[in-house]
Chains A and B, each alone.
Chain A
C-alpha cells in the first residue's frame, strides 16, 4: 500500500555548531527524501547570530535541490529585538514563513504561510479560521490524539494537515533557561552551554529513569516520537504531511526509511527496526497519538550512568 504523504523536515531545535548546522542542511538538500525543509531558530533568539552567516547559502542549496523551504519563526517572543526579527521574517517575500507564534501571524496580513507546532490548533474551528487567513499547511501540536487529528483534517480540506511523526516531542517553553540554571549561570550570560548537548540534556527521575531532556528554555520528552507503525491510520485520516524533527542522528536515513515505508517498499515493522538502528538507545513512543500516559516500562533497561 502506498500512502501519498509528504515529508517535512522540521527546524533544528537544538544548538548545533554553526558549521555542523550548515553541513547538515547541505546534505539534506543533496540527499534527503524530504519535500519541505523548515529552517530557522525557534527556541532561543540568542542563538540566531550564529546561523545567520550560513543562512543564505543553506537557503540557496535547499531551493536549488527543489525543496520547499519554510523559514521558521521564534516560538516565544518577548524582547524588542525578538519582535523586530519576527516582523522582518514575516514581511520578507523570498520565502514561505512557518509561524510558531501568533505575533508572527499578526504580521503576515493574510499572505500564504505554514503554521508550526507551537501555535495552538486543537480543533477544526481554529484550523478553519487560520486556513481562511492564509495558512496552507498546519502542523498540529504533538499532544493531539489521532481522533482529534482526524476530525481536524476531515473538517479542514482547505489546508494540508501535518503531524509530528519523528523526534523528541517539544513539551514546554519558558522565559527561564534551564541549561543556564543547571550551570549556575544567568540567562544573559549563558556562555551558550546548551551547545554541549546537541540532542538535549537528559533529565532523570529520582529513580534513575530517563524522563525529559532540556534544551535551553525548552523542555522535550526523553522518548522519541515515532509514528512509523501508525501510517495507515494517518493516511486514513487524510494527513497530508509528516514532520521529522532533527535529532542528533542520520536524518537522511530517517527520511529515507519513512519514504520507503510510505511508498510501500518496506514493511512498517522493518522501518521500525531500521529507525531503532539509526537512532539507538532512545525509546520510541506514539503515546500522544494513542492518548496514553508515559509508562516507566518504556524507560527500563536504559542505564543512566
Chain B
C-alpha cells in the first residue's frame, strides 16, 4: 500500500519525502484547495521545485484542487489545473464535476483522483466518475466500515485511497455547511472549516472558554486539554443532556487495522494534516513507514508511537469499526 502524506509547505514536503512517503499531496496558496489557511500552501514556483524534489526520490506529488469553483469566477480553479499539469503533478485531486470535466477534456493524459470532498460513498457514484471522466483513484469518505470498503474495492474499476490518521470529519465530507452557518466561511467554497481567525479563547473564572464566530462552543476546566474548536467536536446542550453531541475531540488513528485495510484491497493510505508542523509530519510519516514496511515483510509491527501526535492525545477508529455508528 502507498503512503500518502500531507505537506502544507515546501519544507514539509521535503521532510515527508525524506521520511519515506510514497506520495505527497499539497495545494496552491489560494481558495482552490481545502486547506486554505494563512501562511500555508505553495506558490507556482514552489510547486515546481517540490515536484522536482519528490521525483528525485521517486516520490509522487498529488495536487489537491478540491474546493468547488466559485460561480462566475472559475478561472483560478482552471488555472490551478493547468499550472499543476504544467508543473508535472503526478495526479490532481479534484471534487467538482465541472472542474473534473474541464481537467479531463483539457488534459486528457493527466491522472485524476476523486477527492474525498466529492463524497462518493458507493460503487455507483464512483463508477459515475470513472465512466464519465476516467478517474483513476477515489479517496473514500470517512463514513465507511472496513467491510464496506472491501466491497467497494471489489466492485469498482479504479484504485481506492483511505484516511488512516489525523483529523476526522464526522459528517460526510463535501456535504457539510456547519462552518459556513457559523462563520460564513465554507469548506466547499473557501477551503476552510471553523477557521482559526474566527476562534477566540478567554479565561472566565478558572474556566477556559472557546468561541467560534459569535457562539460559545466549549468550556474547559483547569487542567483539561483544550482541543481546537472544530464545530463537529465541541460541546452542546440538548434536552437529553450536554456534551460532545457529534464526536469527542478525537482524531483518527487506523494503525491497528492496517492488515485489514490491505486485505480489503486498499491501494493507498492517507495521512491528514497539511496544516500541521514539520515535526508532526516527520513523526507520523516515519511511524507509518515502519508499520507498512513491517507489514510488507510479514514481521510484527513496531509498537505504535503515534499516540502522542494525535490531536488532544485521544484517538478513534472512526467509522472503520461499526460500533462508531
The majority secondary structure among interface residues of chain B is mixed
Contact flags (1/0) for B232-268 with A, using CB distance below 8 Å? Answer: 1001111111100111000000000000000000000
Q: Which of A104-134 contact B (CB under 8 A)?
A: 105-107, 118, 120-130
A206 within 8 A of B: yes
A87 within 8 A of B: yes
Please state if A77 and B177 are interface contacts (CB–CB under 8 Å). Answer: no
- On whether A106 and B125 interact (CB within 8 A), knowing A123-B71, A172-B176, the answer reads yes
Across the interface, name the chain B residue whose C-beta is closest to A304: B237
B70 within 8 A of A: yes
Please state if B72 and A78 are interface contacts (CB–CB under 8 Å). Answer: no
A203 contacts across to B, CB distance below 8 A = 236-238, 245
A130 contacts across to B, CB distance below 8 A = 97
- On whether A296 and B181 interact (CB within 8 A), knowing A106-B127, A178-B245, the answer reads no
Please state if A176 and B170 are interface contacts (CB–CB under 8 Å). Answer: yes
Please state if A123 and B122 are interface contacts (CB–CB under 8 Å). Answer: no
A148 within 8 A of B: yes
Please state if B236 and A171 are interface contacts (CB–CB under 8 Å). Answer: no
- Interface-side segment among A28-36, A139-147, A264-272: A139-147
- On whether A221 and B128 interact (CB within 8 A), knowing A126-B96, A174-B172, the answer reads no
Provide the bound-state CA to CA distance between A32 and B216, in Å: 41
Please state if B236 and A182 are interface contacts (CB–CB under 8 Å). Answer: no
Please state if B124 and A122 are interface contacts (CB–CB under 8 Å). Answer: no
A294 contacts across to B, CB distance below 8 A = 181-182, 213-214
Contact flags (1/0) for B139-182 with A, using CB distance below 8 Å? Answer: 00001100010010000000000000000001110111110111
A211 within 8 A of B: yes
Please state if B325 and A187 are interface contacts (CB–CB under 8 Å). Answer: yes
A101 within 8 A of B: yes
Please state if B143 and A76 are interface contacts (CB–CB under 8 Å). Answer: yes
Interface centre among A78, A87, A141 (most CB of B within 10 A): A78
Please state if B183 and A105 are interface contacts (CB–CB under 8 Å). Answer: no
A283 within 8 A of B: no
Contact flags (1/0) for B83-104 with A, using CB distance below 8 Å? Answer: 0000000000001111101100
Please state if B236 and A123 are interface contacts (CB–CB under 8 Å). Answer: no
Please state if B74 and A293 are interface contacts (CB–CB under 8 Å). Answer: no
Please state if A125 and B101 are interface contacts (CB–CB under 8 Å). Answer: yes
B271 within 8 A of A: no
Q: Which of A289-304 contact B (CB under 8 A)?
A: 291-297, 304
Provide the bound-state CA to CA distance between A182 and B123, in Å: 31
Please state if B235 and A206 are interface contacts (CB–CB under 8 Å). Answer: yes
Q: How large is the interface on A (under 10, 10 to 19, 20 to 34, 35 or more residues)?
A: 35 or more
Provide the bound-state CA to CA distance between A75 and B175, in Å: 10
Q: A190 → chain B, closest Cβ, in Å?
A: 10
Across the interface, name the chain B residue whose C-beta is closest to A209: B215
Across the interface, name the chain A residue whose C-beta is closest to B117: A120
Please state if B121 and A76 are interface contacts (CB–CB under 8 Å). Answer: yes
Please state if B97 and A219 are interface contacts (CB–CB under 8 Å). Answer: no
Please state if B219 and A143 are interface contacts (CB–CB under 8 Å). Answer: no
Provide the bound-state CA to CA distance between A121 and B289, in Å: 39
Please state if A103 and B125 are interface contacts (CB–CB under 8 Å). Answer: yes
Provide the bound-state CA to CA distance between A292 and B183, in Å: 8
Q: Which of A212-253 contact B (CB under 8 A)?
A: 212, 214, 219, 221
B217 within 8 A of A: yes
A83 within 8 A of B: yes
* Residue count of chain B within 8 Å CB distance of chain A: 71
Contact flags (1/0) for A162-177 with B, using CB distance below 8 Å? Answer: 0000000111111111
Q: Which of B103-143 contact A (CB under 8 A)?
A: 118-125, 127-129, 131, 143
Please state if B144 and A125 are interface contacts (CB–CB under 8 Å). Answer: no
B201 within 8 A of A: no
A62 within 8 A of B: no
Q: A236 → chain B, closest Cβ, in Å?
A: 15
A39 within 8 A of B: no
Please state if A78 and B122 are interface contacts (CB–CB under 8 Å). Answer: yes
Please state if B71 and A205 are interface contacts (CB–CB under 8 Å). Answer: no
Please state if B240 and A172 are interface contacts (CB–CB under 8 Å). Answer: no
Please state if A205 and B215 are interface contacts (CB–CB under 8 Å). Answer: yes
A288 within 8 A of B: yes
Which of A78, A169, A182 makes the CB contact (< 8 A) with B121?
A78
B188 within 8 A of A: yes
Contact flags (1/0) for B311-322 with A, using CB distance below 8 Å? Answer: 000000001000
Please state if A214 and B245 are interface contacts (CB–CB under 8 Å). Answer: yes
Please state if B71 and A103 are interface contacts (CB–CB under 8 Å). Answer: no
User: With A122-B71, A174-B171 given, can you name 15 additional A-B contacts, CB distance below 8 Å?
Assistant: A102-B118, A120-B68, A122-B188, A125-B98, A143-B181, A143-B189, A148-B72, A172-B171, A174-B172, A175-B319, A176-B325, A203-B236, A206-B242, A214-B245, A219-B246
Residues in chain B within 8 A of chain A (CB atoms): 68-74, 95-99, 101-102, 118-125, 127-129, 131, 143-144, 148, 151, 170-172, 174-178, 180-186, 188-189, 198, 213-219, 232, 235-242, 245-247, 319, 323-325
Residues in chain A within 8 A of chain B (CB atoms): 75-78, 80, 82-83, 86-87, 101-103, 105-107, 118, 120-130, 141-144, 147-152, 154-155, 169-178, 181-183, 186-188, 201-209, 211-212, 214, 219, 221, 287-288, 291-297, 304
Give the top 7 A-B pairs by smallest Cβ distance, nearest first. Answer: A125-B98, A151-B72, A175-B143, A126-B98, A122-B68, A103-B124, A293-B184
* Complex A-B: 29 CB contacts under 8 Å: A78-B144, A83-B123, A102-B128, A121-B97, A123-B96, A124-B98, A125-B74, A125-B96, A125-B97, A129-B98, A142-B177, A143-B188, A147-B72, A155-B71, A155-B72, A169-B177, A171-B178, A173-B172, A175-B319, A182-B241, A203-B236, A204-B237, A206-B217, A209-B215, A219-B246, A287-B181, A288-B177, A296-B214, A296-B215
